[in-house]
Amino acid sequence: MPHPESDAWFARARAVTPGGVNSPVRAFAAVGGTPRFMASGQGAWLRDVDGNEYVDLVCSWGPMLLGHAHPEVVAAVTAAVARGTSYGTPTTTEVELAEEILGRTPVERVRLVSSGTEATMSAIRLARGFTGRDLVVKFAGCYHGHVDSLLASAGSGLATLGISLGVSTTPGVPESSAAQTIVLPYNDRAAVEAAFAEHGDRIACLVTEASPGNMGVVPPAAGFNAFLAETCRRHGALFVSDEVMTGFRVSRQGQWGLDGAVEGWTPDLMTFGKVMGGGFPAAAFGGRADVMAMLSPEGPVYQAGTLSGNPVATAAGLATLRLATDEVYARVDEVAGTIAAEAAKALTAAGVPHVLQANGNMFSIFFTDAPAVTDYATAAGQDTGAFKAFFHAMLDRGVYLPPSAFEAWFCSSAHDDRAVQQVLDALPAAAEAAAAAGSEGGAR
């Protein structure tokens, strides 16, 4: 598909913004070529500035559970904008959004913020303030936003750009900050036991993606989250479950609905973002009432935000959550299941080594001959050259995949049969392209 307008805009963008983008993975650095500048989105479809149309399997990296420009969300936002865009005072919509979050999750109190990064940063500060301890445990390949202490061995854009494949972090994070973070291999109970045995009385919290999606989809082994919750409890540390990506997406109640609600445990703190903002900058952290009571103005741990609980963002989030019914989740699950299965089938037919991994309606395909991907080390071993060829073949056929082998694919309830069919039609040729790149010994 020709894209001269995107080319021209990318050149202009690079003259004014580092790398031409406002978030690194958008730059296509891992797949090459020009990032498409999107002009509009409608339902399952994105249209770029050249007029090319794509079935969107990124969905703004998760938020667009209902698809783009859902009429009822647009109506709620339009009405909110007409009433004024920010007052810096409490509003009723914030309360209603908080009530909706409490109604779907085990959190007892919630504080609204503007990004997932802010949510995890604030949750970590609160955990430290509550416990009076400094150390934070995280897992390699889990991404929790660009919080200084959490960028150690994070996935997502850092994995895409080949940064931090070891335990180090990005330049700009003081060593003293990274030194407060213990990084462990995901799904490794023995490593968790050992870290807590050695440092248990200094650990403020363990933070984990409730089901990792930022190194590709690497679900927790059965009972792993319950084990983490129990280990934290035994050592007086807080268990922070990061549901920025999974929250209100993999089920009505997020990942907790798929495991904690079934197994009978609750995190001490949780973080949310993406879907709950309905495509606007809104996020949240919440949890046990006694922990949240430490937060200012009730308690001494300071946290604030000029645009926190913004009336337009909360209107979008509230409308989205109210529309996210069981039928919506059933449709997203169905679409994701179909696309995932057909993608795996096409790759098998073309003889491309791969592993399909799914957690509810979030899934990704690893171009690897490993039998399963259980942690960052196995995720990092994939053939990114094969992915690159696959990605471009799909893009040329009007399917917009995440431009990285280390990201989840996202669907929406607006993915109708026509959109799904366009994806299925593109798969065989893309699988052949991946096979050809693989046999050329594609760059790892």
Ligand X SMILES: Cc1ncc(COP(=O)(O)O)c(C=O)c1O
Residues identified as active-site? 143, 242, 274
Is residue 251 part of the contact set for ligand X (CB under 6 A)?
no
Nearest-5° Cα angle at 341, 222 to 243: 45
Is residue 115 part of the contact set for ligand X (CB under 6 A)?
yes
Interface with ligand X (CB under 6 A), residue from 93, 120, 169, 359: 120
Identity of the residue, 19 or 428, whose beta carbon is nearer to ligand X in the bound complex: 19
Q: How far is the CB of 413 from ligand X (least distance, A)?
A: 20
Q: How far is the CB of 143 from ligand X (least distance, A)?
A: 5
How is residue 337 written in tokens? 């299941």
Question: In one letter, which amino acid is 31?
Answer: V
Contact 53, 277 (CB under 8 A): no
Identity of the residue, 148 or 209, whose beta carbon is nearer to ligand X in the bound complex: 209
Identity of the residue, 209 or 383, whose beta carbon is nearer to ligand X in the bound complex: 209
Q: How does DSSP assign 232-285, residue by residue?
A: HHHHT-EEEEEETTTTTTSSTTHHHHHTHHHHT---SEEEE-GGGGTTSS-EEE
Letters for 124-163 (x = contact with ligand X by CB under 6 A, - = none) are -------------------xxx----------x-------
Nearest-5° Cα angle at 272, 270 to 275: 150
Coil vs helix vs strand at 316: helix
Q: How far is the CB of 300 from ligand X (least distance, A)?
A: 25
Options 38-46, 69-77, 183-191, 238-246: segment touching ligand X (CB under 6 A): 238-246
Residues 207-236 within binding reach of ligand X (CB under 6 A): 209, 214
Identity of the residue, 6 or 251, whose beta carbon is nearer to ligand X in the bound complex: 251
Q: How far is the CB of 139 from ligand X (least distance, A)?
A: 11
CA 194 – CA 190 distance, rounded (Å) = 6
Q: How far is the CB of 245 from ligand X (least distance, A)?
A: 4
Contact 157, 181 (CB under 8 A): no
CA 101 – CA 324 distance, rounded (Å) = 12
Q: How far is the CB of 169 from ligand X (least distance, A)?
A: 16
Residues 58-87 within binding reach of ligand X (CB under 6 A): 61
Q: Considering Cα of 131, then 135, then 137, then 141, what sign does the dihedral take?
A: positive
Q: How far is the CB of 260 from ligand X (least distance, A)?
A: 16
Size of the site for ligand X (CB under 6 A): 16
Interface with ligand X (CB under 6 A), residue from 31, 245, 365, 393: 245
How is residue 156 written in tokens? 């997502």
Q: How many other CB atoms sit within 10 Å of the CB of residue 330?
A: 12
Is residue 117 part of the contact set for ligand X (CB under 6 A)?
yes
Interface with ligand X (CB under 6 A), residue from 56, 242, 268, 432: 242
Is residue 259 part of the contact set for ligand X (CB under 6 A)?
no
Options 7-15, 115-123, 182-190, 395-403: segment touching ligand X (CB under 6 A): 115-123
Contact 117, 289 (CB under 8 A): no
Letters for 263-292 (x = contact with ligand X by CB under 6 A, - = none) are ----------x---------x---------
Mapping DSSP onto H, E and C, the string for 138-205 reads EECCCCCCCCHHHCCCCCHHHHHCCCCCCCCCCCCCCHHHHCCEEEECCCCHHHHHHHHHHHHHHEEE
**Measuring CA to CA, which residue among 217, 269, 240, 25 is closest to residue 138?**
240
**Measuring CA to CA, which residue among 412, 398, 310, 378 is closest to residue 63?**
412
Residues 383-442 within binding reach of ligand X (CB under 6 A): none
Where on the chain is the footprint of ligand X (CB under 6 A)? 61, 115-117, 120, 143-145, 156, 209, 214, 242, 244-245, 273, 283
